Structure 1
Amino acid sequence: MATSEPGTAADGDLVTRLEEEGEIAADYLEEFLDIADLDGDIDIDVDHGRAAVEILAEDEDDTSLRRLVGPDGQVLDALQELTRLAVQTKTGERSRLMLDVAGFRAARRKELIGIAREAIERVKAEGAAVTLKPMNPFERKVVHDAVADAGLVSDSEGVEPERRVVIHPA
């Protein structure tokens, strides 16, 4: 697909395709929740050029969805990959869909932005590169975005699961 300026017909086509991805993902996740005998509401959005789907607890006091997050979000990462595969099977195209469960990724995003800001300040103060601890792809993307917003440069080095972000002085 060709890239285009925001507001053009091609931009509208992209949003429509991402909304379709969200709908396919929602259908897949609804079936999954039924099989797992879990209750949850599904919210679909388009965020930063990606379909974004979130499973929310119907009752704020219900913590059963936390099982879909797992330690350090590992179960959530696996469920996201399965959901992406379900979307790809229906559309024939690779999906970059982001899945969140019970606000886990939203909370982690805030935490990561704080970590990135501290590291950015160290880089600016010391004038030397700072290497962060290993992170999964979602976490690295959040940090890279925060670094770019601060006007610095970052890259990833290493091999999964030890891949980490390095923040460089401007």
Structure 2
Amino acid sequence: MTETDTETPVPGGAENDATDAVADKPAGEGEDTSRLEAEGDIAADYLEELLDIADIDGDIDIDIDHGRAAVEIVSEEDGGRGLRRLVGDDGEVLDALQELTRLAVQARTGDRSRLMLDIAGHRQARRNALTELANEAIAQVQTGNQDVSLQAMNPFERKVVHDAVAAAGLVSDSEGVEPNRRVVIRARS
């Protein structure tokens, strides 16, 4: 990490609420793809340095997913249990590391990054659980024709639910103020 990497101001929040209900656009050819690949490479360099400093073993996978650079830290050792301390009890450490990684990318590129970071499959497991929760709520809305309000969620979690609701042909909104912002699923009228 260079000295300028630490001088970037922290953005106002983990994610802009306006992105909750907006579906990610797939990356286009050429410039978008190479920009996202560059973001992934910068993030990987930053995270490798972090792992070295913390003396934690892990490999870094880079991909592009739903128009975002996607980086995951994985480990074959002990089934990834050694990486769990980088996730935290409820993913709070993972969220902080994602924000720091986005800032490192922003410091190098000058552009705000929407990079997604996963560690030891935590986000993927959470995505699967949230999709199941969303499907149960969707079934309630479809059979009872009443709105269903879910518990408070962070922006990543709300985005997963919004995507599942849209795929089912229903509508959803985010209501409330962080950290108590929640998804409300509605039947189309």
How many equivalent pairs are there?
164
SS in 1 for 2:61: strand
Residues 129 and 168, structure 1, Cα contact 8 Å, conserved in 2? yes
Is the alpha carbon distance of 1:78 and 1:19 closer, same or farther for their aligned partners in structure 2, counting shifts above 3 Å?
same
SS in 2 for 1:70: coil
Q: Which residue of 1 aligns with 2:175?
A: 157
Residues 69 and 76, structure 1, Cα contact 8 Å, conserved in 2? yes
SS in 2 for 1:100: strand
Structure 2: 5+ residue stretches without partners: 1-24
Deviations 1:55-97 (A, max 9, x none): 0013243511000000110000000000000000000000000
Please give the alpha-carbon distance, in whole angstroms, between the structure 2 residues aligned to 1:44 and 1:58.
17
Structure 1 residue 77 and structure 2 residue 115: aligned? no
Residues 157 and 166, structure 1, Cα contact 8 Å, conserved in 2? yes
Residues 87 and 94, structure 2, Cα contact 8 Å, conserved in 1? yes
Tell which has more relative contact order, 1 or 2 (C-alpha 8 A, sep 6+): 2
Structure 1 residue 142 and structure 2 residue 155: aligned? no
Output the TM-score relative to the length of structure 2.
0.84
Q: Please show how residues 121-136 of structure 1 align to structure 2 within 5 Å.
A: 121-136=139-154
Output the TM-score relative to the length of structure 1.
0.93
- Amino acid across the alignment from 1:73: G
- Amino acid across the alignment from 1:93: D
- Amino acid across the alignment from 2:59: D
Structure 1: 5+ residue stretches without partners: none
Residues 39 and 58, structure 1, Cα contact 8 Å, conserved in 2? no
Please give the alpha-carbon distance, in whole angstroms, between the structure 1 residues aligned to 2:36 and 2:76.
25
